[in-house]
Amino acid sequence: MHNKAIVTECTIPVSETVSLRLYSDTRPHHHHITNLQKGLIFVYQESEIVGEGTGFGVPIAQYRDKTYFSGSSTLQVFRQKEDTIAIKQFAFDMLPEKWFRRARIENRTQRRLSSQIADLYQKHRLVRHAFETLKLKNLSRSVGVRTNFVKSKPIGNMNITYSIKPPFVHVKADFEPLKIHGLRKIFLLNEQGSRYFGKYWDSNGTILHREKIGAWERVTADWACISDSRGRIGFRLWQVEGAVLRRGRELLDDTLDWTGLDYEVTANKPFFEYDIEVLGGEKSK
C-alpha cells in the first residue's frame, strides 16, 4: 500500500475511452448545484459528461427539520494492490433556502405549501433530490420560490470511500461521524448527465427512453442500468437490503440535466455499502 496523499483532484482510467474523476472542491460548476460537492464524474473521451448530475456516491442527510448538503470536503487517494482507493470526507455545511429537485425543505408552513404545489403536478411524489420540472418550476416562480444553497454551521461529516477496480466501484458510506439525533434518512446519489444517458433497462426486461424513465420511480428489479441510447457507455447498480433504489431523469434547457439511480437509506446502521459497474469501451491497458 502506498501512503495516502491529500489531493485536489484525481482521474482513474476505466477503459480506453472512459475514466472517473473526483475533485475536493465543488467542480464541475453547473447550474443550481455549482456550490455543492460532487462525487465520481463520468469522463468519456476526455470530456466530463455529468451535466447537472451530482456524480456517483454523493450523500445527503435528512434530519427531522432540515436537510443538509455538502459544500466542502477533503480528498485522499492511494493505491492498495490493484485497487485505487479514494476517501472523500463530505462536510454537511449547506442548507437549501427553497427547493432541491422536487423537495422544498424549510419550515413546516413552507413544506406544506411545497406539498400542495407538488400534488398539482404529480400525485404524491416522495421527496426527490433534483430540481423542479418545467411545470413545477414555472408554478414555483409564480409564487416567488427560488433555489439557493447557503452556508450553515456544519452538522457533521461523512466519509465516502470509493474502491475502484475497473469496471467496478465499491462505495462505502460511514454514518458514524454524523450527529445522529434527529437524523431520519441518508440519500446516496448516483447521477450523470441526461443529455448523454437517456436509456434505462433492468433485470426485469423493462426498457425506457428519455422522459419515460420518470422523475423518481422506485426500481423493483434486481439490478438497473442507465446508458446512452445504444448501450455503449453507462452504469449498473443493484438492490441493497435495507435501502430503496429509485431511478430518475430530468432535462430542461440549461437548468436541469441529470439522470441516475439513487438510494434512500434509514439511519439505523453505522454504514452503507453498494457497487457500481461502469459500462463502456475496452479495458484500459
pLDDT tens for residues 77-88? 999 888 999 999
Looking at per-residue confidence, does 147 or 189 come out higher?
189
Q: What's the pLDDT score for residue 255?
A: 66
Q: What is the pTM of this model?
A: 0.82
Q: Which residues pair with 22 in a beta bridge?
A: 10
Q: How far apart are CA 284 and CA 264, in angstroms?
A: 33
Structural domains in the chain, CATH included, are 5-94+155-280 (2.70.98.10)
Q: Which CA distances in Å does 67 have to 90, 182, 217, 238?
A: 14, 11, 21, 26
Looking at per-residue confidence, does 269 or 99 come out higher?
269
**Mean pLDDT, residues 122-129:** 38
**What kind and span of H or E run contains 156?**
none
For the stretch 99-112, pLDDT in tens is 544 444 444 334 44
